[in-house]
Structure 1
Amino acid sequence: MTFSPMGMTSRVLLAALAVFLALPVEAAQLVRIGAAHFPPYTVRPENGADTGLLPQMVEALNQSQSDYQFVLVPTSIPRRFNDFKQGRVDMAIFENPEWGWQDVPHTSVDMGLEDAEVFVAQRQPDRQQTYFADLRGKRLALFSGYHYAFAEFNADPKFLAGQYNATLTYSHDSNLLMVLRGRADIALVTRSYLNDYVLRNPEVGPQLLVSERIDQVYHHYALIRPQAPISSEAFAQLLQTLRDNGQLLKIFQPYQIQLVPTHSH
């Protein structure tokens, strides 16, 4: 039997190549982002809807790199704290550390995005901006689970109903309709949502008086669980990439959500 060094080398190389091809390509780290109904950021995620700004941002994050695969996990405004603490989600996004997260271990990433909560009333001939100065004696329509500055961020439904004559719903649309139909005096709505609502319902714009008074500015943060597969530094870098390539502006500018300089929290 003749021995061929060349043949032996080829077989060794082929065997090595076969082993290499059989090895799994390093899989992207799976990062689960909690998706709670918070329009226009997230819209009815439990129904499998992929509308809203969060799905757009996740798509941009996934397309910009291959180290992490971001997926949305439906949760709810009240349930999101437990889902985060128990590890069902790795990140909560479009959040503020002061919205009930004080006792939940996390690191925060300033997203450099700002929205605002404004007061909305029915436009009437004698009604001016002074109408929003005093909320006493007025019927408020609020979003259940939200933390409002005028109520010192106390989201307890009984407190809001007792102190502020508030009706709580899970729909900004319902709250605006209550104002338009005279069933509530003032609704509090995120500026981004109001902008989207008036674009969808142009006949409504002239019927609404929007406050110059802002209840609070939403300076958005991403909150990351200590055991998450992504660090706050790595996520901040991914956001910076989307900021640099214009993706963040493209997603958020149509909703009047401002891109602002980030600052450490």
Structure 2
Amino acid sequence: MMSSPIRTASVVLLAALSSLWIVPSQAAQLVRIGAAHFPPYTVRPETGADTGLLPQLVEALNALQSDYQFVLVPTSIPRRFGDFKQARVDMAIFENPDWGWKDIPHITVDMGLEDAEIFVAQREPGRQQSYFANLAGKRLALFSGYHYEFSNFNADPKFLAQNYNATLTYSHDSNLLMVLRGRADIALVTRSYLSDYLLRNQQVADQLLVSQRVDQIYHHYAILRPTAPISGAAFGELLQDLRENGQMLKIFEPYRIAVVPVPGN
């Protein structure tokens, strides 16, 4: 028996209406990640550049699943706290709860990534590792806004200038050049950045003395708003999936960023 035109039209209409109900439930939740200049993790995001490790991680997260769509929202190291509190971003990444987050409601997710902050000086005859043991009387080149362990994580520029003879810039390259040109005695640089810098500037590798002393180990966390579109547990599971499929190692190992076990996984 053939269907009547009216019945056929009704079936088509019902199918179309059903699809309208289904599509919203399948739409990916938008998760906004704050992107502050923190090389090599994030490099000048305000210019629209997609270089750095964070864009690679976001690409891997989006390729992994379709429930969430992760996007980058440019911010800055000082501004990221306000953007987070005012819900302009849902998540701050490559963070540590000790870096000014104590009084801001948040959820912490262990990323299982470790980097280090190390001291770099100009190599001179007779200069040994003992040079880094005492910072008193030395001119330091620091990255503005960073929280250093040697200063008890006090990032106030006046405090650092007065107590540690510090010059603050927004460029690791500038700080290393200050050391190479004798304008600063010691620069503090992330191990991951120095590794990349020496690959790009092999001609100066033998001019730099790199400390065995570590200022701090960066154990990276993601900081989520309590009402973020993704829960801490769900984000942790996505990171674990990237560990298991090899993407975490692929992204971070070339920069000497250690992929370490996460408790409970």
TM-score (ref. length: structure 1): 0.96
Q: How does 1:163-174 map to 2 (within 5 A)?
A: 163-174=163-174
Q: Distance in 2 between matches of 1:85 and 1:91?
A: 10
Q: Distance in 2 between matches of 1:11 and 1:82?
A: 54
Q: Distance in 1 between matches of 2:231 and 2:16?
A: 35
Q: Partner amino acid for 1:200?
A: R
Instruction: Note the C-alpha offset of 1:20.
Output: 2.9
Q: Deviations over 1:76-128 (max 9, x none)?
A: 00000000000000000000000010000000000000000000000111100
1:212 aligns to what SS in structure 2? strand
Q: Which deviates more, 119-128 or 16-25?
A: 16-25
- CA RMSD in angstroms, aligned pairs only: 1.3
Q: Structure 2: 5+ residue runs without aligned partners? A: none
Partner of 1:217: 217
1:6 aligns to what SS in structure 2? coil
Q: Distance in 2 between matches of 1:158 and 1:207?
A: 31
Q: Distance in 2 between matches of 1:262 and 1:21?
A: 41
Partner of 1:79: 79
| Identical positions, percent | 73
2:203 aligns to what SS in structure 1? coil
Partner of 2:115: 115
Instruction: Note the C-alpha offset of 1:16.
Output: 1.4
Instruction: Note the C-alpha offset of 1:9.
Output: 4.4
Instruction: Note the C-alpha offset of 1:22.
Output: 4.2
Partner of 1:67: 67
Is structure 2 residue 52 aligned with structure 1 residue 52? yes
Q: Distance in 2 between matches of 1:149 and 1:121?
A: 18
Q: Deviations over 1:1-51 (max 9, x none)?
A: xxx773254333222122234453521000000000000000000000100
TM-score (ref. length: structure 2): 0.96
1:109 aligns to what SS in structure 2? strand
Q: Structure 1: 5+ residue runs without aligned partners? A: none
Partner of 2:3: 6
Is structure 2 residue 192 aligned with structure 1 residue 189? no
Q: Distance in 1 between matches of 2:141 and 2:68?
A: 40
Instruction: Note the C-alpha offset of 1:67.
Output: 0.3
Partner of 1:94: 94
Aligned length: 261
